[in-house]
Structure 1
Amino acid sequence: MSDTGRKNFSDKVSETVKPDSQKGVFEKGKETVTDYADKAASAVTPKSEKGLGQSVVDSATKGRDEANAKSNSKSFGETAGEYVEAAKEKVSDAAEYISSSITGAKNDAAAGAEKK
């Protein structure tokens, strides 16, 4: 059972159990809209006005969302490390390009000198 204006718990369960690959475009769109509406209603409804079931579902959803946010976020060190690795790749690419350009120029100069 859900509070007025909230998504029914059984609807949430059935949406979660059914794989996205079996859902149509309109069904996915409806779920997205009703999920956002339910999150908004959760945020604006004071705890004192929520039923026991809705309080439990909201707490579980909030915990899941926070856990997902933490697992998806990278630390500053990880992000910096990725930038350093990308910079190393670019420097290596530039050095390879310059080396091949110089080698090509040397080969062209030698070939030109031999023709004379």
Structure 2
Amino acid sequence: MESLIIILVGILTSVAIYLLLSKNLIRIILGTAILSHAVHLLILTMGGLKTGTVPLLGEEADSYIDALPQALILTAIVISFAVTAFILVLAYRVYQEHGTDRLDELRGSEDEQ
């Protein structure tokens, strides 16, 4: 199962890099969101996909699972959602000001500098 998720992480990372190399601002934002999801899956996989119960006092079980990777992923999801929302607002403001979201048009020409 872990090897399947690692292959999925590789596919998501390659799609994210393809989108990050684009000249469209919205595609770059989507690329960063997909890359953050790939990192979340990587952290979950590196933490180990084990079966067991939660480590609570008074429970007798043969195996326990570590809750730290899930807590880190939950925190990372909240942070990446906030950063993505902030970047989307910035992109909308840039589109309002300049009328385009293409990075080569936003850079301007050599004559303007």
TM score, norm. by length of structure 1: 0.31
Higher helix proportion (structure 1 or 2) = 1
TM-score, length basis structure 2:
0.32
